[in-house]
Copies of this chain bind each other. A is one copy, B any other.
Amino acid sequence: MPASNFHVEFSGVGVRIGMATILRDVELTVAPGESLGLFGANGAGKTTLLRVVATLLKPSGGSARVLGVNLDSPDRFDVRPRLGLIGHSPALYPELSLLANLEFAARVSGVSLAAAAEALRAVGMEQAADRPAGEASFGMQRRVEFAREIMLQPDLLLLDEPHSALDPSAIELVEHIVAGVLQRSGAVVLVSHDVDRVAPMVTRTAELRGGTIQ
């Protein structure tokens, strides 16, 4: 695995789904310790770009490296444990309790169960630990997703509109978690529509327009 100075290194990346062109000619680098704010109109392709960076969607062209690994090579699976993503809609299992959801992630990742309970406490949800995720409010589910990333400590964290659904007391979770990643020389890509709000926590911004980064 040749060393790379960047956590994300995209050059000429295009993305198509079926016959539709979503992204083209995307040039993007994010260095360790950097936090990128990604903006763009509705439908511009921000979520799509995050999923490509998360190795969940393969680019249809160009050269894309994430955490030093080429997205075309099978090695991309090996970097997945180092990636974290909080998307638009919660990804919890509705039948399982909030704590059980975290514990599942902990078991798969080889993290201790104590860390799961600890993370739940960190987001202020320890008293709702036994509530099934399907009965938790939208914001509560988002908080648990933050807890998961706090617990798993990814090197590259991808956030899709992280502020939505968080109440004022929880809104600093975003700043906290971004700071944590940067502190251990990780990188963050943060999608948002609210330039002012994310300004303090990003080191750089980019805008998606016409399917590419302007």
- Which chain A residues have a beta carbon within 8 Å of chain B's beta carbons? 17, 20, 40-44, 47, 88-89, 128, 135-140, 142-143, 161, 164-171, 193, 195
A88 touches B161 (CB 8 A): no
Give the number of times this chain occurs in the complex, counting copies. 2
CB proximity of A19 to chain B, nearest CB, Å? 11
- Specify which chain B residues have a CB less than 8 angstroms from the CB of A137 in the assembled complex: 42-43, 47
Interface centre among A42, A89, A140, A167 (most CB of B within 10 A): A42
A43 touches B128 (CB 8 A): yes
Q: Within the assembled complex, what's the spacing in Å between the Cα atoms of A41 and B168?
A: 7
CB proximity of A116 to chain B, nearest CB, Å? 19
A43 touches B164 (CB 8 A): no
- Specify which chain B residues have a CB less than 8 angstroms from the CB of A47 in the assembled complex: 137-138
Nearest residue, chain B, Cβ from A128: B43
